Structure 1
Amino acid sequence: MANFLMDSVTEIFSPFTLRVLLYCALLPICYAIYFCRKTKSTLPWVAYNDEGLHNVEKARKQWVEHCNEIIDKGLREVKGAFQVQTDLGPKIVLPNSFAEELRNNDQMLFSEAIEEELMATYSGLTPISLVTFDHVFQDLTRVNLTRSLDAVTPELNEETRVSLQRLLGDSEEWQQTSLRTFFNGLIVRLSTRVFFGKELCQNQEYLNHVVSWGTLVLMVNITLRQWPLLLRRVVHMLHPLSRQLRNERAATSKIVAPIIHERLDQKQQGQKSAKVSDMVGWMEEIVQKKKAKMDLVDGQLFMAFVAVETTSTTVAYLMLDLLDHPDAIPRLRKEIISVLRNGGWKKTSLQQMKLLDSAMKESQRLHPLNMVNMQRKVTRDITLSDGTVLPKGAHTFVRWESRCSAETYPNPDEFVVDRFLEKRESGEAGASSKWQFVTTSPDHMGFGHGRQACPGRFFASNEIKVAMVHLLLKYDWAYTDDGRKPVQVVSNIPIMPFEQNIAFRRREMEDSIDF
C-alpha cells in the first residue's frame, strides 16, 4: 500500500495526450488570472530568492521545497508581519509574539483556514469540511468526549491489550514492523473502540478503509499541491489517487451507514445505548440542537481521520525519539511501574505519569505535525496592536519560533526526556499546569493555542499514555539495520517516512503488574 501510494504521486495520466492537451489549453488562462491576483495587504513580500519575488509560480514551487527557509528569512529581515506566496496562495506570517494577542480572536477562524488548507471542498475530501459546521465537532470533543475520559480509559486499556496481541503477538524473538502501519493499526482500533464500540473495532475491513482514506487524504493533498491552483480540481477528477480516495470513502460509508441508522432507530424507540461513549448519539443531539444539516456518516469518518492520523504520527515520533535515547526507556518504565503498583488503573493514574507526559510534550516540540501554527482565515479587517492591518479574507499563521529557541529551551535540538517535568517542578507560578502535554501557550503550540486549539487533545493524551504503558512494559524496541529514516517536508507538511521500520520482541514483565 505504502509503495503504491508513493509511486502514484508521480504517476502521469492516461492517456498522456489528454493530459498534455488539457494543460496547454488551460495554462495561459490560469497564468493570466493567477498573476493578476492582488492582495489587499500592503505588508512586505518574502521569497526564497529574487526569482520568487517576481514570478508567482516560482514562488509557489520555492515554498514547496523551502518552506522553513522562507519563513526564517522573513523573520530575520522583516520586523513584524510579512507575506509569502504558498502553494495554496498568499499568506501572512505573524511572529511568535502575536500568539497571545490572537489566541481568542473570534474574527480569525481556524476551521475556515483548514478547510482550504486540506482542499476539503473537493470530492472525496468533503468529510473534512465538516470542521466548519457550527462548532459541532468542537463541542463533541471538548464537552462530551472530554467529560467521559475517566469512563473510557478502561476501554482504552482493554482494547490496547487485545490489539497488541493481534498486531505484535508474544514471540520473544526479534521481529520487525512498519512504524506507520503499526501505529495506524493500533490507534484506529483504540479510537474506533471508544467512538463506535467493539462491533466496528473488530471489523478489519472497516479499519483498513479508514486508515487508507486518511493516508490518501495526505497523499492527494501532496499531489495536488504540485499543480497550479486553477488546474487542481480538474487534476483531482482524473488522478488515480483521487479516484481511490473517493472509493475508500464510499466503501467506509457502506459499512457505517447501517450501524448509524440502527443506533438512531434504537434511540428513537427509547433504548439506551450500552456504550460508555455514545459518539453517534452525541453527534445527533448536537446536530439537532444547532439545526445543522450534516451527514452523520461523513461525521464519523471525519472523527476517525482527526483521531487516527494525528495521534498515530505523534506517538510514532515519540517511539523514534525513545529509540534515539534508549536511556530514557528504563526511567519511563520505572515511573509507570511505580504508579500502577500504588493504585493500578485508578482515576488519577495517567495524571501521575509526569515523566511520560514530559516525553510526549518534548517529542511534540521537536516534531510538530505542521510547520505553521495557529492557521486562521480573517473574516473582517483587523488592526493589530502594532498597527498591522489584516484584511478580510487573508490567510494567516503564527510561526512557533520559540520551539527552537535556546533561551526558552536550552539545547533546543536535543530530545530531553525530563525537560518539561523539570519545568513543572521549577516552583514558578503556574508552571505545574503550564507545561503539561495538553496545555497550550505561545512557547508550545503543538496543539495550537487559545479557544481554537485542538479540542481532542485531552483524549489524545490519555490514548497515547495508555498505549505507551503497554508498549514499554510488554515489549523491547530497537531500530532495524536501516536505522532512522529522514523526515520529508513537502510544503509545510512533514511526512513520516513510509519505509521506516522498527524491531520488537516480547519482554518479561515485572512482578505484581497486572493491567
Structure 2
Amino acid sequence: MSFNLEDAISKYRHFELNPTYVFFGLVIFVIYYWWESTRLKNPSRLPVIGRRWYELGNGKAKQRYLDDCLGLVRSCLEKHGDAFYLYTDSAYRLILSRKYVDMIRNEKRLNFIKAHAVRMDNGVKGFEPLASMTSDKRIVHAVAKHSLNRHLGTFIQPLNEESDYAVRQVLTDNPDYHEIMLKDCVWRMFAQIMSRVFINDKDYYRNPDWVHASSEYVELAAVAGFELRRFPKWAKPLAAPFFPNCRKLRSILHHINTLLKPLKESLDQQGLEDDPKSPLEFLYKQVRSQSEELGPMLIALCLVSYDGGAELFTHVLYSVLGNDQLVKDLRSEIINVVGKEGGFNKNALQNLVLMDSALKEAQRLHPESVLMLQRIAVEEVVLPDGLIIPKGTPMMVSGAHMLDASIWPDGDKFDGYRFYNLRKKADPSVSLASYNFTSTSPDQFSFGHGSQACPGRFFASYMQKILLCHVIMKYDASVTIPEEGASFQRGQSHVANPGLKARVRRRQEEIQL
C-alpha cells in the first residue's frame, strides 16, 4: 500500500490542543531541562557533600558553606579523602587536596580565566570592570606581565615617592597618639599609590575625588557581588536594581567614567608618549578603538591590586604591630639594608629577608581564600592517578593545610620569623627561593601555582615592602583587636575586620627613605 501524505495530514486537521496536556508537557520539559542542567557529572564516583536528603533546595547547604567553609572543608578532607564535590555559594564544585597541586599546575585544559568568568557578575550593570577581568583578551593579565614585570625597577622610585606622600596624608605628621580605622586607612593608601602607578597623572593620583571613588568602588563591588551570590546567573541582572549596594555601585562607576572623560579625550586627541613601561599606554593601545572600555579596564586593575594587596597589608600590619620585638628587628633590618644601599633598589628589596618572611607568614595564616587555584575544565581531563574531571566542571584546591600544625609548627599562630629561620636552617643543597614571599609551591599557593600563577606578585612584593618600610620607620603604632577578632571568614574568603583600630604617632626615622 502506497503512502499518501495528504491523507496523513488530513487526520490532524481538526486536532485541538488540550490546555491540560500542554501545561503538563511544559512542566515535564522544564523539570527535565533543570535536571539535565544541574545533574552532577561524577564519573569517578566521588563523595558529594551538599543538600541533605530531607532538605528542599540547596539553601541550607549554601548556608553551611558560608558559615564555616574552612571547618567544612577540613571535615570533608578528613572523612572523604583528597577529592570530593562540595556545594559552595552557588554550585557544586570539585574540591581537591594539595596532593593534586603539581598534577594540575600546568594543565591548560583547566582554565583560570573562564572559571572566574563563571563566578563574576558579568552582564550586571555596574559590574563591567569585573567582565574586563575575565575577558578572553586577558588585558589585565597582560598589563602585569608586559608593563609591570618587564620594568619592575623603574617603578621603585614612584612607589617610594607616593608611599611617602600617602602615609603622611593618611597617618599624618601628628607627633601625638591618635586613633585611626586601620583597614580604611590602608585602602586609602593603596588607592593613592596604585593610581600613581596606573595613571601617573597628578590630576588623578593626587585627586582625592578619584582616590576615594576608585577605592570605594572596589570595596563596594565585593559587598554587592556577595549579595547577588544567592541568585542564578540569569537572574542577577533582574535582581540587582533592587539592592541599594548594586545601585550605588552603578552610580560610582558612572562618576568614575565622568572623572576619566578628560583623560580619554586627551588620549584620543593627542595620544601618549611612547613609554612601554606605562600601564596606561599599554591599556590604551589595547582599547584604542573602544575608548569607553578604558574606565572599566583601569578599575579592573584597581580591583586586582587594591582588593588582594590592601587586604593582605591590613593583615600584615596588625600581625607585625602586635609584636614589639619584631618591629624592632624589622627597623634594624631596614636601617642596615636600605641604609647601606643608600635607598630603595632591587638589591635592597631582595635583601629585606625578615620583612619577606613576615609578609609570607601573614599570607600563609590569612590567605585571601580558603579555596584556591580556581579552574574550570574546558575539556575532559584525566589526572595521573586516574581521577576524571569532566568538561565544564568548576574546581578549586583546598588551602586548609596552610594552617595545619603537622606541616607548620603552631600553624594557627603568626610567627614573623618562621620563613627567616627556615631559610637559615636550610640545607645548603636546597634552593632558598622556596622561602621567598613570591615563590609558590604545593605547601603555599596563595599566588597560585604553575603556568597560571599571579603575574603581578613580584610588583606586589615591591609595593608591600616599600610601604611597610615607610609605616614602620615613620610611626609608632599599636592595634586594638575587636572582640570578634582581627579577621573573619565569609564563605571561602578570609577578610580583615573593618572594625580594627590603631593608635599611631609620628616618629623620627633613623634613615631617610
TM-score by structure 1 length? 0.87
Instruction: Report the CA distance shift for 1:54/1:70 in structure 2 as closer, same or farther (over 3 A).
Output: farther
Deviations 1:194-241 (A, max 9, x none): 111133111111111111111111111222234566644322122111
Instruction: Report the CA distance shift for 1:401/1:496 in structure 2 as closer, same or farther (over 3 A).
Output: closer
Could you tell me which residue of structure 2 aligns to residue 445 of structure 1?
445
Q: Could you tell me which amino acid in structure 1 is paired with residue 315 of structure 2?
A: Y
The aligned runs of 1:79-478 (5 Å cut-off) are 79-131=81-133, 132-197=135-200, 198-227=202-231, 231-267=235-271, 272=273, 277-286=277-286, 295-345=293-343, 346-425=345-424, 426-478=426-478
Give the Cα separation in 1 of the matches to 2:138 and 2:223.
Answer: 27
Instruction: Report the CA distance shift for 1:88/1:484 in structure 2 as closer, same or farther (over 3 A).
Output: closer
Question: 1:115 touches 1:121 (CA, 8 Å); kept in 2?
Answer: no
The aligned runs of 1:50-69 (5 Å cut-off) are 50=52, 55-69=57-71
Identity of aligned residues (%): 24
Cα deviation for residue 429 of structure 1 reads 3.8
Cα deviation for residue 483 of structure 1 reads 7.0
Instruction: Report the CA distance shift for 1:30/1:471 in structure 2 as closer, same or farther (over 3 A).
Output: farther
Question: 1:93 touches 1:398 (CA, 8 Å); kept in 2?
Answer: yes
Give the Cα separation in 1 of the matches to 2:398 and 2:71.
Answer: 12
Question: 2:287 touches 2:294 (CA, 8 Å); kept in 1?
Answer: no
Instruction: Report the CA distance shift for 1:330/1:265 in structure 2 as closer, same or farther (over 3 A).
Output: same
Question: 1:46 touches 1:70 (CA, 8 Å); kept in 2?
Answer: no
Give the Cα separation in 2 of the matches to 1:232 and 1:51.
Answer: 28
Question: 2:178 touches 2:503 (CA, 8 Å); kept in 1?
Answer: yes
Cα deviation for residue 434 of structure 1 reads 1.3
Instruction: Report the CA distance shift for 1:468/1:384 in structure 2 as closer, same or farther (over 3 A).
Output: same
Could you tell me which residue of structure 1 aligns to residue 42 of structure 2?
41
Instruction: Report the CA distance shift for 1:265/1:422 in structure 2 as closer, same or farther (over 3 A).
Output: farther
Give the Cα separation in 1 of the matches to 2:108 and 2:232.
Answer: 32
| Most deviating of 74-83 and 223-232 | 223-232
| Most deviating of 279-288 and 120-129 | 279-288
Question: 2:115 touches 2:375 (CA, 8 Å); kept in 1?
Answer: yes
Give the Cα separation in 2 of the matches to 1:336 and 1:407.
Answer: 33
Cα deviation for residue 172 of structure 1 reads 1.5
Q: Could you tell me which amino acid in structure 2 is paired with residue 382 of structure 1?
A: V
Please report the RMSD computed on the Cα atoms of aligned residues, expressed in angstroms.
2.5
Instruction: Report the CA distance shift for 1:77/1:347 in structure 2 as closer, same or farther (over 3 A).
Output: closer
Give the Cα separation in 1 of the matches to 2:419 and 2:67.
Answer: 32
Instruction: Report the CA distance shift for 1:410/1:161 in structure 2 as closer, same or farther (over 3 A).
Output: same
Question: 1:484 touches 1:500 (CA, 8 Å); kept in 2?
Answer: no
Q: Could you tell me which amino acid in structure 1 is paired with residue 357 of structure 2?
A: S
Give the Cα separation in 1 of the matches to 2:303 and 2:187.
Answer: 11
Cα deviation for residue 279 of structure 1 reads 1.6
Give the Cα separation in 1 of the matches to 2:265 and 2:171.
Answer: 35
Deviations 1:129-163 (A, max 9, x none): 22233232222102221122111111111111112
User: What secondary structure sits across from 1:148 in the alignment?
Assistant: helix
| Most deviating of 252-261 and 331-340 | 252-261
TM-score by structure 2 length? 0.87
Deviations 1:414-454 (A, max 9, x none): 21112112233313544311111111111111111112111
Question: 1:375 touches 1:395 (CA, 8 Å); kept in 2?
Answer: yes
Alignment size in residue pairs: 479
Instruction: Report the CA distance shift for 1:112/1:294 in structure 2 as closer, same or farther (over 3 A).
Output: farther
Question: 2:322 touches 2:478 (CA, 8 Å); kept in 1?
Answer: no
- Consecutive unaligned residues in structure 1, runs of 5 or more: 1-28
Give the Cα separation in 2 of the matches to 1:85 and 1:293.
Answer: 40
Deviations 1:259-279 (A, max 9, x none): 134135323xxx625x78422
User: What secondary structure sits across from 1:295 in the alignment?
Assistant: helix
Could you tell me which residue of structure 2 aligns to residue 500 of structure 1?
500
- Consecutive unaligned residues in structure 2, runs of 5 or more: 1-28
Deviations 1:367-408 (A, max 9, x none): 001111100011011111111111111100011243123343
Deviations 1:268-296 (A, max 9, x none): xxx625x78422211233557xx999812
User: What secondary structure sits across from 2:452 in the alignment?
Assistant: coil
Give the Cα separation in 1 of the matches to 2:226 and 2:166.
Answer: 31
Give the Cα separation in 1 of the matches to 2:490 and 2:361.
Answer: 23
User: What secondary structure sits across from 1:348 in the alignment?
Assistant: helix
Give the Cα separation in 1 of the matches to 2:76 and 2:56.
Answer: 16
User: What secondary structure sits across from 1:189 in the alignment?
Assistant: helix
Instruction: Report the CA distance shift for 1:429/1:295 in structure 2 as closer, same or farther (over 3 A).
Output: farther
Instruction: Report the CA distance shift for 1:327/1:491 in structure 2 as closer, same or farther (over 3 A).
Output: same
Give the Cα separation in 2 of the matches to 1:64 and 1:84.
Answer: 12
Give the Cα separation in 2 of the matches to 1:195 and 1:394.
Answer: 35
Question: 1:104 touches 1:450 (CA, 8 Å); kept in 2?
Answer: yes
Give the Cα separation in 2 of the matches to 1:52 and 1:215.
Answer: 38
Instruction: Report the CA distance shift for 1:317/1:263 in structure 2 as closer, same or farther (over 3 A).
Output: same
Question: 2:433 touches 2:439 (CA, 8 Å); kept in 1?
Answer: yes
Give the Cα separation in 2 of the matches to 1:482 and 1:71.
Answer: 27
Give the Cα separation in 2 of the matches to 1:481 and 1:347.
Answer: 35
Q: Could you tell me which amino acid in structure 1 is paired with residue 261 of structure 2?
A: A
